[in-house]
């Protein structure tokens, strides 16, 4: 209001200037009377006449000037109102509650009303403009909304409206003196163009037949050609139905090209080509499975999408095949992978990796072998196998083990007490970091995730890293490995190392203690050769038996102490049966030497109950919740644990949860079970 009064005060002062000059003439006449009274009479008369005329003109013109100003202001307001009303940009003003105060014609046309929408609420017309947004303390907000088939970008700006002379009153929210000015910009075409651009972006992919050689075994030449032709037809038909292009690179490899629009269709139909390929049967004993790697959302350079596709296919194969992996710049998606990994009958890959490792080791003088945190028997068995390889080649070797607990302790003590092994056979993570130099090679066994290793800092401290693991790869695998050997179909890391031992050299002989450790690793991970076993598993066990493994000594190692047995029995007794077929329990392993091992054993025991398709046991240890999940063949617990940030195998998997209570963890697991049941992921 003060600002509004300033122009009127200035005009009033301007009209008063003649009066002010009259006062100046009167003062001049008073001075003149002192020096020349006769002359002053005439000047006084003129001054009085001037003052009279000035007052008359002021009083006469003031009212007319005021009305003129009022008419001008009214006309200006009419022009302003007309411009506001005719403005092409839809505009509306609302109070803090969303009640519409005023609007222009463009806004009325949006909502298909010729008359004013006053007294209506903006949130009722545009639900995306919520009351929370209207009460926001931000200076301006952009909201994207839609109405009548059109999409709008709404810029909301809050402005105070003065209601009196007290300026402080104009910022009170409660009085309704704050209004939201909303500008609507039609972005329908822009959104459509953006969608068209996204849909037309190229996606490149690779399709590999996981088990081509195995599927072709025992088939005569005629049917072999027919099987190949049928697979080619399935692949080509599927990509053609997505308006894509495919090219066969080798007998078991394809390259294809589709746009992002059709990639979304592939995702929606859950990549039916995976199921279609397995349905091809012309007398072959083994169904053909596919692995697909797709690169998307790369830059305009097609090479980046191809690099993404290469990374994705490596992940798909490393996770056991029969699945699709889609990689973008900042995300990796997995589809399928719900069947057992296909065992490779050939050992060619094991031989190639063994020779490659030997070449790497020849140029080094020190080997540091590291497993995962809270090491188990398989981890130690695999580490001992590499330890023997290093010693046989005349290299210094160390095994990183911060602590040995539970059933691992007797095996660990058997090496510590054996005088034929050096005192520093086992070292801590800190000591291992001090040992690293240019001639060091770090071998990681039984884990491929950097955060799960015994000493993650070793991975960056050493330039040469080798990874040997049997767990399926995830998105955060060790990415600086010079040599990576990951086989999800293998039963254990000990099995893989046993194969490497047979190819790396003729002069390597295991001691009985080392053979016991590796044989124990296979037994533990296969639950006494009942899960995840194949022909090569028994061949590796036979090799270790010939090397001196003694089943009697191993059985003694596996015996439980009383505290562990009671904790396991309590976990089984308190199990909750969820959705009829899922056993969920908490293992209170306080007082036990290896709580996580006890939890895993409890999960194995729960799986022996009739009707249970999967068992999940949660164990609190070191401010984390360790989840052990087990199944036989009807539930892929590896997929279940991946949703919690973990991983593993189809029938044996686990996860580690932080900043979560047991009840919250159970609720999260139940939600995942519900989701898997709804999506038909449980047999």
- For 557-610, the DSSP string reads HHPPPHHHHHHHHHHHHT-EEETTTEEEEE---TT-S-HHHHHHHHHHHHTTST
Give the helix/strand (H/E) hosting 199: helix 188-200
pLDDT band for position 75 (cuts 50, 70, 90): low
pLDDT band for position 663 (cuts 50, 70, 90): very high
pLDDT of res. 342: 56
Q: At residue 73, does pLDDT exceed 80?
A: no
Angle of the 348-362 helix axis to the 377-392 helix axis, nearest 10: 60
pLDDT of res. 549: 93
Q: At residue 345, does pLDDT exceed 70?
A: no
Q: The CATH number of 202-336 is which of 3.30.70.270, 3.30.1360.10, 3.60.21.10, 3.90.380.10?
A: 3.30.70.270
CB atoms within 10 A of CB 622: 10
Structure tokens that stand for 456 in this block: 């993650």
Q: By the 8 A CB rule, do 442 and 458 touch?
A: yes
- Between 74 and 313, name the one with better pLDDT: 313
pLDDT of res. 343: 59
Give the helix/strand (H/E) hosting 466: strand 464-469
DSSP code string of 513-553 = HHHHHHHHHHHHHTTTTTSS--HHHHHHHHHHHHTT--HHH
Q: At residue 173, does pLDDT exceed 50?
A: no
pLDDT of res. 339: 60
- Between 213 and 82, name the one with better pLDDT: 213
- How far apart CA 468 and CA 486 sit, in angstroms, is 6
* CA 607 and chain centroid, separation: 31
- Between 594 and 161, name the one with better pLDDT: 594
Backbone angles phi, psi at 43, to 5 degrees: -70, -35
Q: By the 8 A CB rule, do 176 and 262 touch?
A: no
Q: Which residue has the tokens 């072998």?
A: 369
Residue range 453-497, pLDDT digits in tens:
999 999 999 999 999 998 877 778 898 899 999 888 888 999 999
- How far apart CA 183 and CA 186 sit, in angstroms, is 10
Q: By the 8 A CB rule, do 425 and 520 touch?
A: no
| Closest by Cα among 182, 175, 184, 176 to 95 | 176
pLDDT of res. 577: 94
Q: At residue 523, does pLDDT exceed 60?
A: yes
Q: At residue 403, does pLDDT exceed 60?
A: yes
Structure tokens that stand for 322 in this block: 């029969």
Q: Which residue has the tokens 């592939």?
A: 266
* CA 645 and chain centroid, separation: 10
Q: What b-and-e string marks burial along 61-82, b requiring 16 or more CB atoms within 10 Å of the CB?
A: eeeeeeeeeeeeeeeeeeeeee
- How far apart CA 236 and CA 256 sit, in angstroms, is 9
pLDDT of res. 115: 44
**β-pair type (100-103, 91-95):** antiparallel
pLDDT of res. 300: 61
**How deeply is 538 buried, as exposed, middle or buried, from its count of CB atoms within 10 A (0-12, 13-18, 19+)?**
middle
CA terminus-to-terminus distance, the chain = 76
Angstrom distances, CA of residue 224 to CA of 221, 280, 286, 344: 5, 12, 13, 19
Q: At residue 217, does pLDDT exceed 80?
A: no
Question: pLDDT > 70: what percent of the chain?
Answer: 88
Q: By the 8 A CB rule, do 589 and 598 touch?
A: yes
The CATH superfamily assigned to 348-558 is inorganic pyrophosphatase (n-terminal core) (3.90.1640.10)
Q: Which residue has the tokens 């409890």?
A: 602
DSSP E strands in 286-423: the ranges are: 290-295, 323-327, 332-336, 366-370, 396-400
pLDDT band for position 116 (cuts 50, 70, 90): very low
Radius of gyration over alpha carbons of the chain, in Å? 41
Locate the domains of the chain by residue range: 2-86, 91-194, 202-336, 348-558, 563-678
Q: At residue 310, does pLDDT exceed 70?
A: yes
Q: What is the second-level CATH architecture of the domain 563-678?
A: Roll (3.10)
The CATH superfamily assigned to 91-194 is PAS domain (3.30.450.20)
pLDDT of res. 168: 41
Structure tokens that stand for 77 in this block: 């307001």
Q: At residue 585, does pLDDT exceed 60?
A: yes
Q: By the 8 A CB rule, do 471 and 647 touch?
A: yes
The arithmetic mean of pLDDT across residues 281-299, rounded, is 84
Residue range 565-574, pLDDT digits in tens:
888 999 999 9
| Closest by Cα among 524, 504, 501 to 379 | 524
Most trustworthy range by pLDDT among 37-41, 74-78, 208-212: 208-212
pLDDT of res. 93: 84
Question: pLDDT > 90: what percent of the chain?
Answer: 38
The arithmetic mean of pLDDT across residues 503-519, rounded, is 90
Q: By the 8 A CB rule, do 619 and 662 touch?
A: no
Q: At residue 391, does pLDDT exceed 50?
A: yes
- How far apart CA 461 and CA 540 sit, in angstroms, is 33
User: In a 3-state reduction of DSSP, which class is residue 507?
Assistant: coil
Per the prediction, the chain carries an average pLDDT of: 84
Q: At residue 114, does pLDDT exceed 50?
A: no
- How far apart CA 618 and CA 625 sit, in angstroms, is 6
Q: At residue 385, does pLDDT exceed 90?
A: yes
């Amino acid at each position: 209001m003060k600002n509004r009064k300033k122009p009127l005060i200035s005009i009033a002062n301007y009209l008063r200037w003649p009066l002010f000059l009259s006062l100046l003439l009167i003062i001049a006449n008073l001075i003149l009377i002192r020096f020349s009274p006769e002359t002053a009479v005439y000047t006084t008369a003129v001054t009085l006449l001037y003052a009279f005329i000035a007052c008359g003109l002021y009083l006469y013109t003031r009212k007319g000037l005021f009305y003129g100003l009022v008419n001008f202001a009214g006309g200006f307001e009419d022009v302003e109102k007309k411009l506001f009303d005719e403005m092409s940009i839809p505009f509306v003003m609302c109070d803090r509650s969303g009640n519409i105060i005023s609007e222009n014609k463009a806004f009325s046309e949006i909502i298909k009303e010729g008359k004013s929408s006053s007294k209506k609420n903006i949130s009722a017309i545009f639900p995306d403009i919520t009351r929370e947004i209207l009460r926001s303390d931000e200076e301006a907000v952009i909201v994207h909304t839609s109405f009548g088939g059109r999409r709008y970008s709404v810029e909301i700006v809050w402005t105070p409206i003065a209601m009196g002379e007290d300026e402080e009153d104009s910022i009170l929210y409660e009085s309704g003196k704050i209004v939201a000015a909303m500008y609507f910009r039609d972005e329908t075409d822009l959104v459509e163009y953006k969608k068209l651009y996204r849909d037309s972006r190229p996606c490149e992919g690779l399709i590999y037949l996981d088990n081509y050689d195995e599927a072709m075994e025992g088939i005569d030449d005629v049917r072999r050609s027919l099987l190949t032709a049928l697979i080619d037809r399935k692949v080509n038909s599927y990509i053609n139905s997505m308006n894509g292009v495919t090219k066969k690179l080798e007998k078991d490899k394809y390259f294809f090209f589709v746009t992002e629009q059709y990639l979304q269709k592939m995702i929606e139909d859950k990549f039916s080509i995976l199921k279609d390929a397995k349905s091809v049967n012309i007398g072959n004993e083994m169904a053909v499975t596919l692995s697909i790697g797709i690169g998307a959302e790369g830059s305009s350079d097609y090479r980046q999408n191809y690099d993404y596709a290469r990374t994705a296919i490596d992940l798909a194969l490393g996770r056991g095949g029969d699945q699709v992996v889609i990689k973008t710049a900042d995300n990796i998606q997995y589809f399928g992978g719900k069947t057992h990994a296909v065992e490779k009958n050939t050992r060619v890959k094991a031989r190639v990796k063994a020779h490659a490792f030997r070449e790497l080791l020849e140029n080094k003088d020190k080997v540091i072998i590291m497993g995962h945190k809270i090491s188990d028997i398989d981890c130690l068995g695999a580490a001992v196998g590499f330890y023997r390889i290093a010693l046989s080649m005349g290299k210094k070797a160390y095994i990183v083990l911060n602590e040995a607990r539970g059933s691992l302790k007797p095996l660990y003590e058997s090496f510590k007490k054996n005088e034929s092994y050096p005192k520093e056979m086992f070292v801590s993570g800190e000591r291992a970091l001090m040992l690293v130099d240019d001639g060091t090679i770090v071998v990681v066994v039984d884990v491929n995730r950097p955060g799960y290793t015994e000493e993650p800092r070793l991975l960056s401290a050493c330039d040469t890293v080798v990874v040997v693991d049997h767990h399926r790869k995830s998105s955060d695998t060790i990415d600086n490995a010079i040599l990576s050997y990951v086989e999800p179909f293998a039963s254990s890391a000990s099995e893989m190392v046993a194969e490497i031992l047979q190819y790396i050299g003729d002069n390597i002989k295991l001691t009985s203690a080392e053979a016991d450790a590796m044989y124990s690793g296979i037994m533990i991970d296969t639950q006494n050769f009942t899960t995840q076993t194949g022909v090569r598993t028994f061949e590796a066990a036979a090799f270790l038996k010939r090397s001196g493994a003694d089943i009697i000594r191993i059985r003694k190692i596996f015996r439980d102490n009383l505290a562990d047995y009671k904790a396991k029995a309590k976990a089984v007794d308190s199990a909750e049966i969820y959705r009829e077929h899922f056993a969920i329990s908490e293992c209170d392993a306080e007082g036990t030497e290896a709580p996580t091992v006890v939890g895993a054993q409890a999960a194995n025991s729960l799986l022996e109950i009739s009707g249970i398709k999967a068992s999940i046991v949660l164990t609190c240890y070191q401010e984390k919740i360790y989840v052990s999940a087990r199944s036989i063949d009807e539930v892929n617990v590896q997929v279940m644990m991946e949703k919690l940030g973990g991983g593993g195998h189809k029938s044996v998997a686990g996860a580690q949860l932080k900043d979560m209570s047991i009840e919250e963890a159970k609720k999260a697991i139940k939600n995942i079970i519900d989701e898997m049941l709804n999506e038909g992921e449980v047999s």
